[in-house]
Structure 1
Amino acid sequence: MPNFFRALTIAAAVLTLLPGCSPGEPERALTYSQQAREGTVPVYRFAVHPLHSPHKLLQTYQPLIDYLNAHLINAHLEVEASKDYGAFEAKVSASEPAFLLPNPVQTLLARQKGYEVMAMAGDASDFKGIFIVRKDSGIRQPQDLKGKTVSYPSPTALAAAIMPQYYLHQQGIDVQRDVKNAYVGSQESSILNAYLGTSAAAATWPPPWRMFQKDNPAEAAQMMQIWETPPLINNSVMAHASVPLPVRQQVKALLLGLKKVPEGVAILEHLETAAFYPADNQSYDVVQQYLQTFEQTVRPVQLQLN
């Protein structure tokens, strides 16, 4: 990794832990989007939850949006990133974007705000929490985390916070008392905090870890995955009910058909996503059941429902 880029990424990771940079604060003037060209074709915002930093997310998802735009009739999409989970959830709560790619917990929030599930993004087997530690950290079993810091993207990140915390609970760790929980805003920041030693372990999920290994091989070589949770259900793709039905149907058909065309296969590989699969609102009822158990035994989960 070039020294300049390393300095920027390390600074970004550290800043997420400083006072005044709370990832739970709603986004105000700061937004990230790839603006569509001016024209008469209706433009619809496609907001993706913070799988990556805003810049990385735009780079990752722009090829998909370009593909969709090349095949859509009478519609144009613009991809939109958010600075953290709280900012994304505030947009969902306000029903601002036309299309969403939220995590399963945010899917429950969006269902209350007029959004409907169109598809599932990726294999369900790939949606699991994993713990990343430095090889020289001395962490080998969950009990080694007592008194130490664990980093997560957000308290509402299902695979990268809720499921790992439930795993620790099942291993006899009281996540409210035995460890310090640092919610640092993004998947990369969570991993980087563990790399820097700011946290003893990073909670994340497989796609960001695979991408980190690909983009930062020298840093990743000093780290290892140590535990993983059972899988649940993967992220959804949703559309607001106010989007015209023909537009929703086109987007759904294009997503489900990606794995059938060479260009689509390349896009899926770029996304670290196996395919988009049929799904609906009821597919995510299992998440509601999981959250009920988690809240009864571990901690409350607070989404921005205002």
Structure 2
Amino acid sequence: MKYILILLLAWFSLPVNAQSDRNRPVYTVGVVPQFAQRKLFDIWQPILQALEHELDFDLELVGSPKIPVFEKKFLAGEYDFAYMNPYHMLKAHDSQGYVPLVRDGSRQLKGVLVVKHDSAYQSVADLNKKIIAFPSPNALGASLLMRADLVGLHDLEFFPRYVQTHSSVYLNVALGQTEAGGGVLSTLQKQPPEVREQLRVIYETRGIPPHPLSAHARVPEEDREAMRQAWLKLAKTEAGRQLMARIPMYQPIHADLDEYLPMREWGLDRFYIVE
């Protein structure tokens, strides 16, 4: 009896919001690991915490150490919400019914090919039969689009080296471990100055609408829309803009599946690798 009284006293001494949180649904959020896990959590956790103030449910950030692990998880439908590249979006839609909610409206996603700043390489042709680093086979701008362009448009022969993250690509090139590397402009700009200043862009791929935040089909439509509206509302605040710029998502807008459907005609499946 004494033990029960102690538990009851502890319960009623909790703040009201702490008690009500026990009854809130919890949705998982997966994020494509463009950065190391610590940096990724540092970017996303404050955003999710801010969103929870506008939502009737909680958000649990779930990390993935490598892009292939992230792919397996969304293809299995493990995430309720997921931030993924546009080609992943199509794969996730086909396999699990994911639908896009918001994306950055200020730019397009393009792959960039970087070399060491003081290297002699000036064009794609100079990299014939050279080693080129990529984050993973299925990273869209940095790897899928880049390999499709290098092979399909430039008939280049090269040796790919997959190094897991964008940051690792840039470091490999800066240290001279590979002659070149595929990335995207947004992650290149996020590198430390001592790395970024050692690199030079020699090629850009075609552009497409960037990564959407998406929702699994099992998430009720009202919760999907609540997430979208909470995101757009947060983006209108100065604090929200600063948080989202770190993703980076500079101008969040409504995202639609139709924006990503043209990629079905680009022949990217030739370069997509199931691991």
* TM-score class, shorter: 0.7 to 0.9
Matched, 1:266 2:248: no
Q: CA deviation at 1:91?
A: 0.5
Query: Would the aligned equivalents of 1:68 and 1:254 in 2 still touch at CA under 8 Å?
Result: yes
Q: CA deviation at 1:281?
A: 2.4
**1:34 paired residue number:** none
- Counterpart of 2:174 (choices 180, 187, 195) is 195
Deviations 1:221-272 (A, max 9, x none): 2222222122112112111121223321110111223332222211122222
Aligned pairs for 1:66-145 within 5 A: 66-73=49-56, 75-123=57-105, 125-145=107-127
Query: Would the aligned equivalents of 2:90 and 2:260 in 1 still touch at CA under 8 Å?
Result: yes
**1:151 paired residue number:** 133
Q: Would you say how many aligned residue pairs link Structure 1 and Structure 2?
A: 256
What SS does the corresponding residue of 1:113 show, helix, strand or coil? helix
Matched, 1:47 2:30: yes
**1:276 paired residue number:** 252
- Counterpart of 1:59 (choices 42, 56, 79) is 42
Structure index of larger Rg: 2
Alpha-carbon RMSD across the aligned residues, in angstroms, is 2.0
**1:230 paired residue number:** 206
Task: For structure 2, list consecutive stretches of 5 or more residues without a partner in the other structure.
Answer: 1-20
Q: Which amino acid is 1:158 matched to?
A: L
Q: Which amino acid is 2:159 matched to?
A: K
Deviations 1:176-235 (A, max 9, x none): xx21011111111111111111111111001111110xxx11222222222212211211
**1:301 paired residue number:** 272
Q: CA deviation at 1:90?
A: 0.7
Query: Would the aligned equivalents of 2:133 and 2:172 in 1 still touch at CA under 8 Å?
Result: yes
**2:148 paired residue number:** 166
Q: Percent identity?
A: 26
Q: CA deviation at 1:106?
A: 0.9
Task: For structure 1, list consecutive stretches of 5 or more residues without a partner in the other structure.
Answer: 1-37
**1:257 paired residue number:** 233
Query: Would the aligned equivalents of 2:147 and 2:271 in 1 still touch at CA under 8 Å?
Result: no
Given the two structures, how large is their TM-score scaled by the length of structure 2? 0.86
**2:162 paired residue number:** 183
What SS does the corresponding residue of 1:197 show, helix, strand or coil? coil
CA distance in 2, matches of 1:107, 1:282: 11
CA distance in 2, matches of 1:190, 1:124: 25
Change (3 A) 1:270 1:172: closer
